[in-house]
Each structure stands twice: as C-alpha cells, then as structure tokens.
Amino acid sequence: MNDPEPRSYGHFCKLAKALEHVGDRWALLVVRDLMLGPKRFTDLMDCMAGVTPKTLTRRLRDLEADGLVAPDREPGRREVWYRLTPAGRDLQPVLDELLLWGMRHVAEQPRPDEPIHPEHVLHALQLLLQRESVDVGHVRWVVRVPGTDDYVLSSDGTTWDLRIDADSKAIPDVTITATRSALARFLTAQGPRDRHTEGIEIAGKASAIRTFLKAIEAFPPSATGLRAAHTTELAGGSR
C-alpha cells in the first residue's frame, strides 16, 4: 500500500479533508490576521511574531493554491496585499469557536517573552462581549497603540464590531492609548480595572469611561467561574 501524500490523512472524513488545507502550522493564523481586512507581507510578519519569512511565504502560496487567500498585485506597485476569498472568510465561525475555547480553557496573562499584537486581544474582547450579550447601547471606543493601526470597538446596542479606524472624523466616546504590553495586561486582568494603570491612558466623559470599565469586566472569562463549572461537571458525572 502506498503512503498517502504528505498533506493527506489518507482516509475519507470531511474534517480530515479540511485539515489537509488549513491544518499546517501558521495556516489558520494567516486566516485569522486577514479577517479584519487585507494586509501586506510585512503586516502579517508583525502580527505573527515568530513565523519566518520562508514559512509565511509557503503558507500564503498554499492558501492561495487552495483558494482561501488571494493576492492583490498592481502594476508598478511593489507591495502585494493579501485578502481572504469568500471560502477563507467562511472560516470565521471556526476561528471564533477555537478562540472562545482558548479563553475558557487556557486563559492566562501574556508571559514576558511573548510578543503581543493588539488586534488579537481586541478581537477576543469583541467576541466575548458579543457572546455574553453585553449591552451598553451605542458606543464607540478607539484604541491607539503606538506602532500599529488605530482600532475601533463599537456597538449599536446589539452587535459588537471591531475594525481598523478609517474614519478619524468620528468622535469616540472613549479613547484608550496604551503600549502593546500594557493593553494586554490591562484587558486580561481579572476583576475591575484601575483606569490609572501604568502605561494606560483613558480619555472621555466620566460616565462613558465608567461604562467602558464596567463592560470589559466580562473579559476574560473568570478563572473561578471555569473551575466552578468544571467542579459541577465532575460532580454530575460521579453520580
């Protein structure tokens, strides 16, 4: 019997078939980092700290060949922009569920040696606010981190949205200015946050800031809550 191809599991299962296309290391993280919009190779290198240029080039080529990523090349323009195809965007629910699983079961603060990109922690916050149905009405919060794009986290009272800030004329309810590490520590801390935390500057009306701080108490999921849920499951299973 011949060995299956290197990317093949060699048996019929649609999960196995899907993993043959997106199961390579870094593949899903490329898709993750294109969900907010097109990016250049250098943008992806910044988001995916730890990946080598050679590996990223290979993953982009594989994802392009599989119809998940499309390069945007213009004559005379040196830089290539990469975007998701409709098939690539269809992976959004899968990535969201994996992210929620990670927050529930492997939640921890960033280690000192771990690179941080604000886009990742902000998407986790946006997703949890949506899933927990946190309702604070219409709000617009701008997050500014030196060396990266500005981000807008907003809600219309029903849906939470995260996007790169492309409308500088819109006035935010709250503006958060922070370093990468300070933002990550602030958002992943358990319990009520202190607006005067080192490395964090929060501007806006006092009532708007209180709304912001109250809303983010939902993030991240409480470790105590996770332990309690696990204990309940064990108790139920032992009857």
Splitting the chain (239 residues) into consecutive groups of 10 residues, what average pLDDT does each group show? 59 85 89 95 93 95 95 87 97 94 82 86 95 95 92 95 80 94 89 87 96 92 49 47
Q: Which helix (H) or strand (E) holds 105?
A: helix 92-105
> What is the predicted pLDDT for the residue at 90?
96
> What is the predicted pLDDT for the residue at 110?
78
Cβ–Cβ < 8 Å for 173, 204: yes
Domains of the chain: 14-88 (1.10.10.10), 95-218 (3.30.1050.10)
> What is the predicted pLDDT for the residue at 193?
87
> What is the predicted pLDDT for the residue at 140?
96
Of 10, 6, 83, 8, the residue nearest 41 (C-alpha): 83
- Give the residues across from 154 on adjacent strands: 140, 161
- Cβ neighbour number for residue 176 with a 10 Å cutoff: 26
This prediction's pTM: 0.84
Q: Which residue is listed with tokens 């993030």?
A: 219
Q: Which helix (H) or strand (E) holds 55?
A: helix 53-65
